[in-house]
């Protein structure tokens, strides 16, 4: 187990109906709020309107910046920061999924940042030149999708559409002040969106579990528990969308997957580094990009980490090892996991995403440019080279060109 420092200052108000407390919470944060959400609010409009009314009932002035897009662009972040400065905003509220919350956190940091906002982003892992923000406006996160866990961490994932890149800010100052996690806000999510969110939640701990340190038993038990919780409860939610207990379990699992508890001293997310390029190059939704890559990754690299994959098969996918070789147990576990992804209706290959073999070189180039370290590999345990990634993407069953 590696040495580590751990810090997470986020206060959480969790449970059905807790959205009603936003005015009370916000009153102690500031007197002028900017609500950040999507350019196309759709079903979120009643939620945003309700939050605005609850704030005004507490004599908090409100302005709205409804311009966030999926995988928010750095130009939008700049517009939002300018907007907040013009309106003398005290704090920012992000309402929505990961993109809305990440936009809110980045905007809050952008208000105080000097220079090119893209400099906040860790956009080169081989020669890190990022200058992370040191201060930000306080934020309150109200997640409506149990996926990214942005409501309780110090990360904001952003895109640069001009450069066709996607990466992240990592800074203590963007930890939210509060997270209001109300599972009632997820009851009307479409089935496909719910399923992709579940895949995203799983990926956050699965990647660390299979690519991180070997001797981290407490983290591994925590990671296994998160994955099992998501698997069990997404099945319930897809059959009974209004099951508030299942929705609550999915919400809390998504938060716990990436708020730091599952990964002290043991944090590797190489599949995300590849998946970001499916988004930046081809516009693939984040959860779908991860679900499409996870089975191929596991099939390609399981022989390097046999104990991790064996434990995953037995402890997570309930494979009975009696009378089977280690290799057979591992294979059965990966197959069971892929069958689960197919069952909930998410992509499990590049061909499901309508990408073909011609796409592979551009994906590799994108990963190399942004995510390879100064040794020319993708950091995980063990490291992964460009040739390894090429094999993995070929194993993702791309359609013939």
Per-residue pLDDT in tens (0 to 9) along the chain, 401 residues: 888 899 999 999 999 999 999 999 999 999 999 999 999 999 999 999 999 999 999 999 999 999 999 999 999 999 999 999 999 999 999 999 999 999 999 999 999 999 999 999 998 888 888 999 999 999 999 999 999 999 999 999 999 999 999 999 999 999 999 999 999 999 999 999 999 999 999 999 999 999 998 888 999 999 999 999 999 999 999 999 999 999 999 999 999 999 999 988 777 789 999 999 999 999 999 999 999 999 999 999 999 999 999 999 999 999 999 999 999 999 999 999 999 999 999 999 999 999 987 889 999 999 999 999 999 999 898 899 999 999 999 999 765 54
Residues counted in the chain: 401
Pairing of strands 61-68, 32-38: parallel
Residue 19 makes CB contacts below 8 A (sequence gap 6+) with 47, 50, 51, 54, 142, 180, 182, 184, 185
Domain 191-395, CATH number (from 1.20.970.10, 1.20.1090.10, 1.10.443.10, 1.10.760.10): 1.20.1090.10
Indicate the SS3 state at residue 179. Answer: strand
Cα–Cα distance, 218 to 224 (Å, whole number): 10
Give the pTM: 0.95
For 64, the enclosing helix (H) or strand (E) is strand 61-68
Handedness of CA 352, 355, 360, 362 (dihedral sign): negative
Distance of CA 70 to the CA centre of its chain: 12
Please say whether the beta carbons of 208 and 268 come within 8 A.
Answer: yes
Q: What is the pLDDT of residue 264?
A: 85
Q: What is the pLDDT of residue 139?
A: 98
- What are residue 302's phi and psi, to 5 degrees? -65, -30
Handedness of CA 218, 224, 230, 236 (dihedral sign): negative
330 burial class (0-12, 13-18, 19+ CB within 10 angstroms)? buried
Q: What is the pLDDT of residue 268?
A: 77
Domain ranges within the chain, ordered by starting residue: 11-186, 191-395
90 burial class (0-12, 13-18, 19+ CB within 10 angstroms)? middle
Q: Directed axis angle between helix 326-344 and helix 217-239, to 10°?
A: 40
Q: What is the pLDDT of residue 126?
A: 83
Q: What is the pLDDT of residue 401?
A: 40
Domain 11-186 fold: Rossmann fold (3.40.50)
Please say whether the beta carbons of 381 and 213 come within 8 A.
Answer: yes
Q: What is the pLDDT of residue 128?
A: 84
Indicate the SS3 state at residue 237. Answer: helix
Please say whether the beta carbons of 139 and 177 come within 8 A.
Answer: yes
């Amino acid at each position: 187990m590696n040495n580590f420092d751990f810090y997470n200052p986020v206060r959480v108000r969790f449970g059905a109906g807790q959205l009603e407390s936003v005015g009370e919470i916000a009153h102690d944060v500031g007197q002028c709020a900017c609500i950040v959400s999507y350019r196309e609010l759709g079903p979120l409009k009643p939620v945003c309107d309700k939050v605005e009314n609850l704030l005004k009932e507490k004599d908090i002035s409100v302005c709205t910046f409804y311009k966030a897009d999926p995988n928010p662009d750095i130009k939008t972040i700049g517009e939002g920061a300018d907007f907040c400065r013009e309106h003398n905003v005290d704090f920012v509220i992000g309402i929505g999924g990961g993109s809305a919350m990440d936009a809110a956190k980045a905007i809050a940091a952008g208000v105080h940042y000097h220079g090119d906002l893209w400099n906040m982003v860790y956009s080169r892992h081989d020669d890190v030149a990022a200058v992370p923000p040191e201060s930000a406006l306080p934020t309150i996160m109200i997640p409506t999708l149990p996926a990214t866990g942005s409501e309780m961490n110090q990360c904001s994932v952003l895109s640069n559409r001009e450069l066709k890149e996607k990466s992240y800010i990592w800074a203590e100052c963007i930890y939210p002040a509060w997270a209001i996690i109300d599972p009632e806000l997820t009851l009307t999510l479409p089935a496909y969106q719910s399923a992709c969110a579940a895949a995203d939640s799983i990926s956050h701990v699965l990647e660390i579990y299979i690519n991180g340190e070997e001797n981290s038993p407490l983290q591994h038990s925590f990671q296994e528990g998160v994955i099992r919780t998501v698997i069990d409860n997404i099945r319930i939610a897809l059959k009974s969308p209004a099951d508030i207990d299942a929705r609550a379990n999915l919400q809390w699992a998504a938060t716990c997957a990436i708020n730091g508890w599952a990964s002290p001293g043991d944090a590797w997310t190489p599949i995300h580094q590849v998946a970001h390029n499916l988004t930046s190059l081809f516009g693939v939704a984040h959860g779908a990009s991860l679900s499409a890559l996870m089975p191929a990754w596991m099939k390609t690299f399981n022989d390097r980490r046999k104990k991790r994959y064996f434990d995953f098969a037995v402890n997570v996918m309930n494979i009975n090892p009696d009378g089977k070789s280690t290799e057979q147990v591992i294979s059965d576990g990966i197959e069971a996991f892929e069958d689960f992804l197919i069952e909930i209706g998410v992509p499990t290959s590049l061909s499901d995403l309508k990408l073909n073999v011609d796409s592979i070189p551009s994906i590799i180039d994108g990963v190399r440019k942004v995510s390879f370290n100064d040794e020319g590999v993708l950091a995980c345990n063990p490291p992964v080279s460009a040739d390894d990634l090429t094999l993995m993407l070929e194993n993702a069953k791309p359609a013939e060109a």
